[in-house]
Structure 1
């Protein structure tokens, strides 16, 4: 609708409205979160948690409207049939850009339960957003480097304990737990450094997926396997806000959770091997799917 405006007007206006949307939703969200802290009673916390999710879904919904107004994105989304808002899912996706997050939110908002991402502990200090993520029960993870673990072996496994505790609170309500199994965004340099056997993906990490499956167990209905492709090439959040992203393709596949995928990843070497083999097979399928989603000609540039 407003994509025709020159960028010198369109970009500041879009950023202003996105900021106003944050403020309009974060303020009531903080007020309810404060009540949730002050009145730690289950019969009060549960309806407050539901109200917080409604605010977050409204926030995402308005963002989606704004991106629709200020951009001309051609969406190609396949595989959403059969998903439900009242079932719990583990969502697995490849990771190429921070744009992946608004893409996933647009595709799944109000279609499946509100998605929680595992976030680095440092992100809790992001103004407004960090505190909003905390209020919405996003699990924050403190990652320890190999050097830190060598100096402080008592920290070994602390991040996994945090994963388990974060998932425990989701066992009694519909939730979508989001996991970028590659652990980082795709770049050619990272791809080469890993000697990745996949053309469009980095190597997946099976541990985090295994811990979520073990912690939530039968509470999860299925795995939602998502493949995201940007046919024009790598993009940034500013590219999205500025309307320089014109084509986004998303493929969704619901996968059953086999009984053999639930077990002790740390203590059972045979189980660990099975989960890694399953993840590698899933990633081979995903790489083939990403190849099918590529445009017939590559290297399309972004205009304004």
Structure 2
């Protein structure tokens, strides 16, 4: 009995390795728990990955919007201070500029004390000289239109014009002489930039440009409404220098016409106006617009 009892009591322990550490009996159980923990960890990692993807999709859209907004702001600042695109809507400056051309206007050309010169092609605000002052409309609509025009996506405002400077402050501009040509300060101007077949002007005029103003004309004289057509308007068709937006220096579109706006040597021989003003002719106004 005692022997059997002892054998029965020793039985479970007799199957075990006498050299085995008792603590290792928990090994398999611990391995299973470790495996469960790893599975849970994998699931957690998957959830974290999904959350990360969701969180990244949001910022990616925000980054895109921020970059796009920054680009628009940069272009608006660039067009406001440096170079602004303008769409040519009419034939008044042919052949130099054609309908549909997009030009880049150099807004720094006259920023540092320099002023428009004879022969320059300029963009200017004709308010008060070519068009009357109008009450302001909806400010939001005006702002959106100005922004679109600043990016070259819309036609310029109806008060914006592009013409060539023919006379500056103090100049006497006359058309036409005995040969049917334009003269400035008594010197004939050879206008090679004119539209072939056009004459310098079908309307005779004899004017003296007041200080701080410009006499401007289109290159396609028969299709251009310019200073000649506003002699009887307030300002006498003369454009204030401070209304000049900038100088048209480049044709940016279409790509086939990508080039600089050609200058002219037609005014190189024209002298400066006399210091005391012209002794004869109109006293700063316009005459002969008939």
User: Normalising to structure 1: TM-score of the pair?
Assistant: 0.22
Which structure ranks higher in relative contact order (CA pairs < 8 Å, sequence separation ≥ 6)? 1
User: Which structure has the highest strand share of the two?
Assistant: 2
**Higher Cα Rg: structure 1 or 2?**
2
User: Normalising to structure 2: TM-score of the pair?
Assistant: 0.23
User: Which structure has the highest helix share of the two?
Assistant: 1
